[in-house]
Amino acid sequence: MNSKNRDVAIIGCGMSKFSSHREEVNQPEMIHEAVVEALQDARLAMDDVDCVLHGNMELFEMVHQPDMWHVLGSGAWGKPGIRLTTGGTTGATLACAADNLVASGLHDVVLAIGFEKLQEGHATGGITNMADPLWGRSLQTGALTGTAAQKLIEQFGEERAKHAAMKMRVIMDENAMRNKKAHRRLRLDREHMKETVASSPPLVGELRMIHMCSQSDGACAVIFASEEKVAQCGSNPAWVVDHETVHREETLIFNAGKSTQRVAAERLFARNGITDPVREIDVFEMYDPSAWWGVEWLGEFMLCDGDEHLRMVEEDTIAIDGEFALNPSGGVQASNPIGATALVRVAEAAMQIRGTAGDHQVARPVGRALASGFGGTLWTVLMLLSKEKP
């Protein structure tokens, strides 16, 4: 494990309700919902916050420097702040930056805010125009890809691969049905998976609309505090153990070697003595843009051999009451406010440790939780949280 000047914990989490259209609120008002809930959860006032981090994909709403306007809802007026954007990983980058700012001793309490109000812009337009049309042409479809589907079909056969992907989607929806703030709560039926896939519009290859995440409006706020502040407040902490970032910024077009998911997991687990992640980690909030990627990346993150990751789906190991609860919140396939999405993963993992997840709380004790972010040029961020102080 990396050494720190001091330990850091998450002591407050807040989220707005996620929806395709939050037309009843503007951006600062939507952010305010999450900030107020996080402060109440942490039993702090805005005066206790030393620094505010803000993140979104500003080209999606096409509002320059939105953090300047959002002080009306974030409470950041007059406080030190940083605006961060790293694509789909923005929320996870916010979490890592907040941890670093507190661990360094620069600040005692940092508020991280991620948001997106995608109905007010054009996410697809932003994605397809952000890269050079020649050298960056592989980015033009953004997160929309059928390559994972084809890869799994070639490895495990069409029938088994399709069944695993759709079962993954159904399990995520079962979890989302427990989560009152989730956007897509579809009440999918295990007995009619084939019919559901057949009736869903095709996108690319075997990837269909039902497999994909949506775009959502929503905000998330997470409060990080020093060990001294935790002791003073008597807070219910989820301790930050470690985090890792891996990307292929300069080598994206070559698509060779290990995935960034596997490299990040190998590094993080090696530093923290984790040799059997499925049994040593209780909950994983994974950034899963599609059901096909969810199945594939489960194998990458958990360092699975052979068909172990497919069996985890087939045997309900990843169900909310299974040995290894995956996305009790419903994951990205349920709610995807892009600038907040990866921060939601961190917040949900922390809530599981703290026992504050409500109707989608895992029944058994959660000692360790993992959260991931994904985006941009195959960026992967992993954060490990613990109930016990490191």
Tell me what pLDDT residue 347 has. 98
Determine whether domain 133-212+239-385 maps to CATH 3.40.47.10: yes
Per-residue burial over 100-138, b if 16 or more Cβ lie within 10 Å, else e, is bbbbeeebbbbbbbbbbbbbbbebeebbeeebeeeeeee
Q: Report the alpha-carbon distance of residue 23 to residue 12 in Å, rounded.
A: 27
Question: Shortest CA distance to 3 belongs to which of 150, 104, 154, 94?
Answer: 104
- Enter the CATH code of domain 8-124+216-237: 3.40.47.10
Question: Whole-prediction pTM value?
Answer: 0.95
Low-confidence ranges of the chain (pLDDT < 50): none
Per domain, the residue ranges of the chain are 8-124+216-237, 133-212+239-385
One fold for 8-124+216-237 and 133-212+239-385: yes
Question: Shortest CA distance to 295 belongs to which of 211, 366, 375?
Answer: 211
Q: Report the alpha-carbon distance of residue 143 to residue 135 in Å, rounded.
A: 17
Tell me what pLDDT residue 200 has. 95
State the helix-helix crossing angle for 158-178 and 147-156, rounded to 10 degrees: 120
What are 6-52's pLDDT values in tens digits? 999 999 999 999 999 999 999 999 999 999 999 999 999 999 999 99
Q: Report the alpha-carbon distance of residue 8 to residue 109 in Å, rounded.
A: 9
Tell me what pLDDT residue 137 has. 63
Q: Report the alpha-carbon distance of residue 315 to residue 323 in Å, rounded.
A: 10
